[in-house]
Structure 1
Amino acid sequence: MQEHSHTLASALSADVQRDGFSFVTADTMRPLLQSSGDLSDWPAFSDSWNRLGPDPYLAAKGRFRRRRHATFTAAADGAIALAPHQPHYQALQYNALQGDIQRWFDPIEPSVANGASLQTILTFCHTFFGSLAPSVAQWHVEVHQFRIEANKDAAGEPTPEGSHRDGVDFVLVLLIDRHNIASGTTTIHTPDGKLLGDFTLTHPLDAALIHDPRVFHGVTSVTPLVSTEPAHRDVLVVTFRAKP
C-alpha cells in the first residue's frame, strides 16, 4: 500500500512540476490520503458543510456562497498546528472583487479542524507540497470550506473573481459533495490566458493540485439539474504559502 501510494505521489509530483497542475480522480486520491492517515470521521466531516455560515462579503454584491475558514502552521519537521482565528487576506492583484481587505469568516468547527479527515488531508498536503519545495522551513496554511448554491433564478459562481491565482505557493481543491448541479468545470490557464486543461470534479475526493505562481485557475458557474430542488457544490480548499 505504501509503495503504491509513493508511486502515485511521484507521478502526481511529476505532473505538477511539468504542467503546474494535476487533476486527481477519487480512486487515486483516496489511497494517497489513507497513506497519510485515516478518514474515519468522513461522514461527520462532510456533514459539517451543512453548517456553514454565509459569506457576507459576496452577499453584499448579490452573490451567495457559504464558508468557514481556519489557519494552520506547518513546520518542516512535520508538525501541523491550528493557529488563532484570523482574517483571510488577499492582495487586490489576486482578487479584484475583494482584494486588500481583511475578511473574517466563521471559524471551522473545532471537531472538524482537529478531526481525522482534515488532519489526514493536511498531512498529505504537507508531505506532497513539501516534496516540491524542500527548502521551505515553515508554511502558512489556510483551509476553506465552501458551499456554492444555485437555484432556478441564479447560477452559483464557484469563482466569482474569475480565472485567478490565490497568491500562495500551492493549492489543493478537494470535492466533498455535489448535489443536483450541472457544470462546475475547473479550467487551468497560463498567465496570458491560454487554456492548459479543464476537468470537472464529479465524485467526492476528486481533486486538483495546483502550483499557484505558474497557472491561473477558475470554475464555471453551476446550475440546478432540477430547478425546484436544492443544488450545491461543496469543496475544501487548502493553500500552502512559504513563511519568509
Structure 2
Amino acid sequence: MQKVSESMQLEYAFMFTLRKVNSINPKGFKQFFNDLPLDPYIKGSYRFRRLSRFIVSENKLSKLPHGYLFQSKEYNPLVGDVKREFAELDDALIELDIFKYMVLAFSDSCKLHPEAEIGVHQIRTTCSPNNLGNPAPEGIHQDGTDFIGIFSVDRENIQGGETHLYAAKKEKPVFNKVLNSGELLLVNDHEFYHFTTPIKPQTDAQGTRDVFVLTSPSLLCD
C-alpha cells in the first residue's frame, strides 16, 4: 500500500476510509457468487453480475422494486447512456445477517440520511491463463453517485486487482492497495476517481475476484 503522509491522512480522512468489518465472515457469501449471470454489456465473457437496491430505516433493510442501471457517458465512456438490466440478488443472500451487517456498515460509515437509496452490486471478475480479467474496463473513473463502498469477499488464484484512488485523473494515486477478504473501502465519489488493475491467474487454473460494490444513490432507475 502506498504510504500516505500524516497531513494527507488528515486532509482525506472524511473522503475515504478503509475498515475491516469484524462482524462479517465473508465465507458465508461465497456460494452466492457461483451462479452469477454473465454481464452481457462487457466484451470478453469474464465478468458476472447481479444487483438490487435497498433502503435502511431504523437498522432494518428493505428491498426496493427493481430497476435498470444507468450512467451517463460522462461517467462511463464504455457503456454510458445504456439502460443495463441485470438479475436481482438472490433472496437467500439478502436474508443473511452478514448481508445486513455489510449494508449497515456502509450506511453508518457514510452517515447516510434515513431512507437513502443504496445499490448493491454483486460482481465476480474471472481470469484464465489466456484471458486477463478487468474489474474496471472503463478505466480511471467516477460512478456519478455520492458514496461508494467496495467490500472484498474473496480472491482466489489471482495476482493484481489492486484498487487505486486518485484526486485527479492525471495525478498519482493517493491510495493503492489490494483489498483483502472482509475489508470495506469507503469513498466519496465527488472527491475521488477510482480504478482496479487487471487480474491474472497465479497458476494454470481459473482465477476469481469477488466483491460487492455499494453505491448511494443506487444508480438504478425505474
Instruction: Tell me if TM exceeds 0.5.
Output: yes
TM-score (norm 2): 0.86
Q: Secondary structure at the match of 1:56?
A: coil
Corresponding residue number in structure 2 for 1:148: 125
Residue type matched to 1:210 in 2? Answer: V
Q: State the distance in 1 between where 2:91 and 2:198 align.
A: 31
Q: Is the 8 A contact 2:120 2:218 kept in 1?
A: no
Q: Is the 8 A contact 1:16 1:211 kept in 2?
A: no
Residue type matched to 2:16 in 1? Answer: F
Corresponding residue number in structure 2 for 1:92: 73
Residue type matched to 1:30 in 2? Answer: V
Q: Is the 8 A contact 1:139 1:240 kept in 2?
A: yes
Pairing partner for 1:30 from 21, 26, 32: 21
Structure 1 residue ranges (4+ consecutive) displaced by more than 6 angstroms after TM superposition? none
Higher RCO, 1 vs 2 (CA within 8 Å, ≥6 residues apart): 2
Cα offset, 1:204, TM superposition = 1.2
Deviations along 1:147-190, whole A, 9 cap, x unmatched?
11011111100000111111111111011111110111111111
Residue type matched to 1:55 in 2? Answer: D
Q: State the distance in 2 between where 1:72 and 1:23 align.
A: 23
Corresponding residue number in structure 1 for 2:181: 204
Q: State the distance in 2 between where 1:150 and 1:192 align.
A: 26
Q: Looking at secondary structure, tell me which structure has more helix per residue.
A: 1
Q: CA RMSD in A?
A: 2.2
Q: Unaligned regions of 5+ residues in structure 2, if any?
A: 1-8
Q: Does 1:167 align with 2:144?
A: yes
Give the share of equivalent positions with the same residue, in percent. 26
Q: Does 1:157 align with 2:134?
A: yes
Q: Unaligned regions of 5+ residues in structure 1, if any?
A: 1-13
Cα offset, 1:191, TM superposition = 2.6
Pairing partner for 2:44 from 56, 59, 62: 62
1:65-144 equivalences in 2 (<5 Å): 65-75=47-57, 77-130=58-111, 136-144=113-121
Q: State the distance in 2 between where 1:43 and 1:225 align.
A: 21
Pairing partner for 1:235 from 206, 211, 215: 211
Q: How many residue pairs are counted as aligned between the two chains?
A: 210
1:170-185 equivalences in 2 (<5 Å): 170-185=147-162
Q: State the distance in 2 between where 1:234 and 1:54 align.
A: 14
Corresponding residue number in structure 2 for 1:21: 16
Q: Secondary structure at the match of 1:127?
A: helix
Q: Is the 8 A contact 1:175 1:205 kept in 2?
A: yes
TM-score (norm 1): 0.79
